[in-house]
Amino acid sequence: MSQASAFADEAELLAGIRRVMEHDRASGRKVVALHLCSAGQAQFHLPVIEELSRRGLPLALYLALDYPMPEVAEALGIGLERCFPATAAHTLSTMDLFLESEIYGRGPTQAIKVFVGHGQPNKFTNWSEENLQAFDVYFLYGQLEREMFEVIQQSKPESSGHIRLMDIGYPKLDAQMRGDYDRVEVLRGLGLDPELKTVIYAPAWDPGCSLRTSGLAIARTLLDLGDVNVIVKLHPVSMEPKKSPYFEFYTGGICWEDEFKVFKDHPRFAFARQQLVNPLLVASDALLTDFSGVALEFMLLDRPVLYMDCPEFYEKTQKEWGNDADMAKNDDRFNAGRNYGTVVSGVAELPGAVRRALARPEELSARRREFIARFLYNPGNGAQTFVDAVEELLGLNPSVPDPTEKG
């Protein structure tokens, strides 16, 4: 997917951005830009921004956006005068650090370019040489991500040998790992009965995913169980607004929130509009997904995960995207824990599989716990470790040599 821009008067905007950046640098601050392609990615970085603010570091934070998102800038506390089109990031030579949430992000040559991701990478077994050459540092969530990237490195050593791997953790999961969410409070906030078992349906967005092939039928089947709450929490980009240049790509041209309104009056149904999934995970007794990395976040709670099988995704989409479909489906490093949950071959099998999972949540517990131990570095302290690394990379920690200095 290529970058897109919908900023008006871009030349004038960039001239203003350069003036602000130069002023920040003259004031002794390091210039850091965060690349976001969609509003849903903000949730991954809010804990980091809060930690940066708490420490009061001499930084000026900017947003490189694929299209105008004033609501995201406001939520992150970043002024519009520090927002610019991502397509122009590589031209801003006063930047010190560029944080890429998407592998196609492109920062300026002289800046330190860090890939931070937006969720545990899975599905993609083939990273292009151009993308690999475009960043210098990889902030890893955990050992599983390191193992995944080692496969990429082995396939393209010439393009990836320069990349420094840093063991960070997952800032978005800090609150979940600390136990900050209350199940009863979350369910009541959704209008659901906390006395009932709760199943959350959180599918991926991709062509061939369960949402696109049978999402409404899945929700209806879960509700027909008769005594469980059903939360539908779509991937953030499945909620991409029509103003987005990626609306068709991510949603298939469908407004999914409107589609699920057929259930809006059902007393045991909730369509979650919030971006952050983790409070909803804590409130749920079982997760139904397909190949989304959210499965790993739920496994941290040691609760059952069910995977809707999606033959079209593996047999068509993955091959069209140039990935190894068999590896994406069966290899622990790429398949979002599929080997440690229950694979459901079709909607007709769903009631029995859900009933079993709710009745026997401990059934796969030992295997789940062994697998998920590979998922997370620094549990509960991802934001702190992230900012520690930023300090090191920018030479703000006097006890650590500045990695940008040439010996």
Domain count, the chain: 2
Pair (164, 213) in one structural domain: no
> Residue 293 belongs to a domain with what CATH number?
3.40.50.2000
Residue 404 belongs to some domain of the structure: no
Sign of CA dihedral 157, 159, 163, 169: negative
Residue 405 belongs to some domain of the structure: no
Residue 34 structural domain: 10-170+380-393
> For residues 233 and 280, what is the distance between their CA atoms, to the nearest angstrom?
8
The answer to whether the CB of 148 falls within 8 A of the CB of 333 is: yes
Pair (384, 351) in one structural domain: no
Residue 400 belongs to some domain of the structure: no
Pair (18, 94) in one structural domain: yes
Pair (68, 145) in one structural domain: yes
Residue 215 belongs to some domain of the structure: yes
Pair (45, 184) in one structural domain: no
* pTM, to two decimals: 0.92
Coil, strand or helix at 35: strand
Pair (290, 349) in one structural domain: yes
Pair (311, 362) in one structural domain: yes
Question: What tens-digit pLDDT sequence spans the chain (407 residues)?
Answer: 444 555 668 888 999 999 999 999 999 999 999 999 999 899 999 999 999 999 999 999 999 999 999 999 999 999 999 999 999 999 999 999 999 988 889 999 999 999 998 878 788 888 999 999 999 999 999 999 999 999 999 999 999 999 999 999 999 999 999 999 999 999 999 999 999 999 999 999 999 999 999 999 999 999 999 999 999 999 999 999 999 999 999 999 999 999 999 999 999 999 999 999 999 999 999 999 999 999 999 999 999 999 999 999 999 999 999 999 999 999 999 999 999 999 999 999 999 999 999 999 999 999 999 999 999 999 999 999 999 999 999 999 755 444 444 33
* DSSP labels, 318-349: HHHTT--HHHHHH-TTTSTTGGGSEEE-SGGG
Pair (343, 254) in one structural domain: yes
Pair (157, 227) in one structural domain: no
Residue 407 belongs to some domain of the structure: no
- How far is residue 152 from each of residues 138, 139, 148, measured CA to CA in Å? 13, 15, 7
